[in-house]
Amino acid sequence: MEDVVNVVLLGATYPPEMMEYTRGLAQVGARVYGVGDTPRQALPPLAKRYLHDYLQVPKLMDEQDVIQRVLQWVKGLKIDRVESLWEALVLPAAALRELLNVPGMSRDEILKFRDKQIMKDTVKAAGLRVPHSRRIKTVADLEAAAKEMGYPIIVKPIDGAGSANTYRVNSDEQLEELLPALRDVPEMICEEFIDGEEFTFDTLCIDGEIVFMSVMQYFPRPLLQRTLEWVSPMQITVRDMHDPRIAGGIKLGKEVIKALGMKTGFTHMEWYLTSEGEAIFGEIGARPGGALVVDQMNYTCDVDLFKEWARVVCHGHFGSPTTRKYNVAAIFKRAQGQGNIAKIEGLDEYLVRHRPWICVNRISKIGTPRRNWRMTLLSDGYLIVRHPEWDRAHQLATEATNNIHLYAAY
C-alpha cells in the first residue's frame, strides 16, 4: 500500500472541475488540504466528501495574503505536495513549494509557462518557430510594435489564459478604438497574427517524460469563438495520433516541453497549422486545459485523468491503459435573445438519432437564465459526443452546431 501524501490544493473547489482533482487525490490515498474563498458551509457535497481539511481565505487572488495564511495553517504539519491546476494560482503554488521545501516546479520554472514573452523567448531560443512578439507596457510600446510587425496583430495579457482579453487588430483605427479596453491590463504582449487552423497538444508528464498525450482541434479557432456571438464553438480530440496532419504539432510540442523544462504534471499547449503545413507554437501552460478538455481526453481513452494526474503527482507513476478509442467532440451552445431559455429546437431529435454516440447532455433546461457568453465558453450548455471515425465525429458535432437552437426571452 502506498504512503499517505499530504497535499495542499489551491483552488480546490473552483472552477467546478477542480473538485474532480480533489476527488482524484483522495482516491489515490492523499489527504487533501483545500484552499479557496468559498465559505466552508457552502462547499459542494463532492468537495466535502473528499477534502481532509479546508481553509477559507478572503481573496484567493491575493497571492501574498494566501501564502501567509496557508503557511500559518499548515504549521507543524508535514506537507508533501502543493498543487494548483488553475492558471491564476500556479505561481503562488510554486512559491509555497519553495517556502515549504516540497517537491515540484519552482516559481522561476513556472514563470516560463506563465509569462508569455519569457515563454516565447525561451522556445525561440531552442530554435522553434514562434510568432514574432514584444512585451507591451505603454501605449507607445504598442504603437511601435504594430508599426514593426504590420497588421494584423494580436494583443493580449502577458499572463492571460484562454482567449480572455485577446484582440485581433487590423489597422491603426482599430488599435485606437481598443486602447480604452486595455487600461486595466498592466502588461500585454503584442504578437504576429498566425493564419491557420488551431490545435492543442496536451500532456501529462513525470520528471519531464510524457506518459500521456493528446491532440484536439478547435472549430473555429478560439479568438473567433470569443468574438462571434452566433457561433456554436466545438472542439474535437484526435483519435489517431499518427495522422500526418498533426505530426508537426506533436514534434513541436515535445520539443517545447523539453525547452521549457517541464517536470511533473499537466501541460496544455496551443499551436497553429498553416496552409503550407507548418506547425507554429502558440502558447503553453503548466496545467490542464479548461472547458472540458480533460473530460474529452477521458472519453477518448475511457480513462480517468483526474485520478491519473493525482497518481502521477503523489506516487510518480501512471496506472491506466491509454488506447485511443474515439474522436470526442464537445459542442457549446449559445441561446439567441435575452432572459430565460424559453424554447429549444432540434435537441430531442438529435438525441434520439445519435443516442449511441452521446456521452453527455448538459444543454440548459427551459427556464434557465441565459448565461453571459463572453464570460464562459460553457455558455448555455453543451453536448459531448464521440465516434471511432474522425469524419463521423466531425459530422455529429457539425450537426449539433447547425441544427440545435436555443432561444431566450423575458
Confidence of residue 183 (pLDDT cuts 50, 70, 90): confident
Q: Give the pLDDT confidence of 314-330 residue by residue, as tens digits.
A: 999 998 888 999 999 99
Angle (CA) 81 113 5, round 5°: 10
Confidence of residue 142 (pLDDT cuts 50, 70, 90): confident
Class of the CATH domain delimited by 106-126+195-317: alpha beta
Residue 137's pLDDT is what? 85
Architecture of the structural domain at 5-104: 3-Layer(aba) Sandwich (3.40)
Residue 300's pLDDT is what? 98
Instruction: Give me the sign of the Cα torsion angle 43, 48, 51, 52.
Output: positive
Three cell numbers written together for 305: 485523468
Residue of 115, 111, 289, 130 whose CA lies nearest to 215: 289
Confidence of residue 304 (pLDDT cuts 50, 70, 90): very high
Residue 2's pLDDT is what? 62
- The model's pTM is 0.92
- The strands making up 153-157's β-sheet, listed across from edge to edge, are 133-136, 188-192, 153-157, 167-169
Residue 173's pLDDT is what? 87
Q: How far apart are CA 144 and CA 226, in angstroms?
A: 26
**Cβ contacts of residue 121 below 8 Å, gap of 6+?**
none
**Is the per-residue pLDDT at 389 higher than 80?**
yes
Q: Give the pLDDT confidence of 16-38 residue by residue, as tens digits.
A: 889 999 999 999 999 999 999 99
Q: How far apart are CA 172 and CA 87, in angstroms?
A: 32
CATH code linked to domain 132-192: 3.30.1490.20
Angle (CA) 322 325 327, round 5°: 115
Average pLDDT, the chain: 93
Region 275-302: mean pLDDT is 96
Q: How far apart are CA 318 and CA 212, in angstroms?
A: 8
Q: How far apart are CA 93 and CA 85, in angstroms?
A: 9
